[in-house]
Amino acid sequence: MKLNKYGRQWLAERPYILALIISLILILWMASGIMQAQELPKKIDKENTLIPKVKVETLFAANVSDVVELYGRTEPDRVTHVKAEITGKIEQVFAKRGSRVSKGQIIAQLAINDLESQLAKSKALLTQREIEYQGAKKLNAEGFQGEVQVSSAAANLAAIKAEIKRLEIAISYTTIRAPFDGVLNTRYVEEGDYVKSGDDIAMIADLDPLVVRAYVTEQQVAQISVGQNAEISLLNKTQLPGQVRYIASVADDNTNTFKIEVTIENSNYQLLAGISSEVDVVLDEVPAIKMSPALLALDEMGNIGVKTVTNNTVVFTPINVVKSENDGLWLSGLGQQADVITLGQGFVRAGDIVDAVMSIEK
């Protein structure tokens, strides 16, 4: 008791000793808290280093024809507006609207009026002019007429021949014919109509071959050449073969694209002009892998590609779409085979370490 009393008295006389002990205890307590706080992130980091699992499937490439996909419309190979070449009344029409016509077929007939009588008169006068010319030549040879009379007779003969030719051409113009095979899409006249030279008579369209006109970009035009095969899909889902026949040498100033023409055989005229079409111009074969569009991904730069696994590391591979089908896409850029992430790709990024679980084929 005396010892404890003495100790308390000693500490009371020296309060700085007590303060020092309390400060030391507080310092030790705070130091232990800092050490625990430093150990906590290490435990958290250790938990975060759990390697994610992804499902991977090995896909193999096949040789597929690369294509350039374009959009266009079917159009006639050529179109013409048949016009009247002389003035007159429509005496008769022959070709119906929408009917097929052959080259040289009569579409309409204009009234000849007095053209035939004028031609008969000119032909009768031609005989007289020939006699006059021959007589002038004979008299000139005998010295009874000069060169002036011979020249005058020759001019009269040439003039009547020109008049006969003019009348024959005018009579031929009264019969209006189709300039080529095609469809008489529109007829602008009926019997009794009066037309002047230059008035429209009919519009004829040549639908064989049918032409799809489309436009390609600067990058695409270098891949296409005249004679390449193409596949055309019409709006009604009809699939047709075609062939590139023309590529513009000068780009359009407004769009900076090049016009191309693809022809389709249409001998039966069953295909119509003006139908929206998709054109796939077939290029060289390339190795491509077929997969679902759901497996496509974007990188941080917005490039489209596919996430694969190489040595348990996620790799983002940019791709090109070669062909689109109902059940998937054919993609190039992945080589002959690739381990594609089919499940969990949305939770990993390029460079991540993963536990790749290969899918088991059933």
Q: Specify which residues 164 forms β-bridges with.
A: none
Residues 231 and 121 in one domain: no
Average pLDDT over all residues of the chain: 85
Please state the rounded mean pLDDT for residues 262-276: 92
174-214 pLDDT, tens digit per residue, is: 999 999 999 999 999 999 999 999 999 999 999 999 999 99
Residue 109: per-residue pLDDT: 95
Closest-CA residue to 93 (of 213, 184, 196, 229): 184
Residue 360: per-residue pLDDT: 63
Residues 91 and 151 in one domain: yes
Residue 218: per-residue pLDDT: 87
Q: Would you say 52 and 352 are in contact if contact means Cβ atoms under 8 Å apart?
A: yes
What's the alpha-carbon Rg for the chain, to the nearest Å? 47
Residues 153 and 175 in one domain: yes
pTM over 0.85: no
Chain centroid to Cα 155, Å, comes to 62
Residues 215 and 264 in one domain: yes
Domain-ending residue, one of 231, 255, 284: 284
Residues 211 and 170 in one domain: no
Residues 14 and 151 in one domain: no
Residues 102 and 178 in one domain: yes
State how far the alpha carbon of 212 is from the alpha carbons of 71, 227, 231, 249, 269, in Å: 9, 14, 11, 18, 15
Chain centroid to Cα 328, Å, comes to 22
Which residues have CB under 8 Å from 279's CB, separation 6+? 69, 70, 71, 72, 212, 214, 230, 231, 232, 242, 262
Does 115 score more than 60 pLDDT?
A: yes
Does 284 score more than 80 pLDDT?
A: no
| Type and span of the H or E element at 349 | none
Nearest-angstrom CA–CA distance, 152 and 328: 87
Domain-ending residue, one of 254, 284, 314: 284
Residue 190: per-residue pLDDT: 94
- Phi, psi dihedral angles at 178 (to 5 degrees): -75, 135
Structure tokens at 196: 């002047």
Domain-ending residue, one of 266, 284, 302: 284
Closest-CA residue to 288 (of 254, 333, 328): 333
Nearest-angstrom CA–CA distance, 156 and 160: 6
Q: Which residues of 182-218 are buried (b: 16+ CB within 10 A; e: fewer)?
A: bbbbebbbeeebebeeeeebbbbbbbbbbbbbbbbee
Residues 290 and 349 in one domain: yes
Band of pLDDT at residue 362, cut at 50, 70 and 90: very low
Number of folded domains that form the chain: 4
Residues 73 and 219 in one domain: yes
Q: Out of 144-158, 174-188, 239-253, which region has the weakest mean confidence (pLDDT)?
A: 144-158
* Sign of the four-CA dihedral 20, 22, 23, 29: positive
Closest-CA residue to 136 (of 116, 150, 156): 150
Task: Print the domain residue range for 314.
Answer: 53-64+286-358
Q: Would you say 243 and 218 are in contact if contact means Cβ atoms under 8 Å apart?
A: no
Band of pLDDT at residue 45, cut at 50, 70 and 90: low
* Sign of the four-CA dihedral 300, 304, 310, 312: positive
Residues 114 and 57 in one domain: no
Residues 119 and 189 in one domain: yes
Does a cis peptide bond (omega within 30 degrees of 0) precede residue 318? no
287-315 pLDDT, tens digit per residue, is: 899 988 888 888 888 888 999 999 889 99
Residues 177 and 96 in one domain: yes
Please state the rounded mean pLDDT for residues 126-133: 88
Q: Would you say 156 and 129 are in contact if contact means Cβ atoms under 8 Å apart?
A: yes
- What CATH number should be reported for the domain holding residue 353? 2.40.420.20
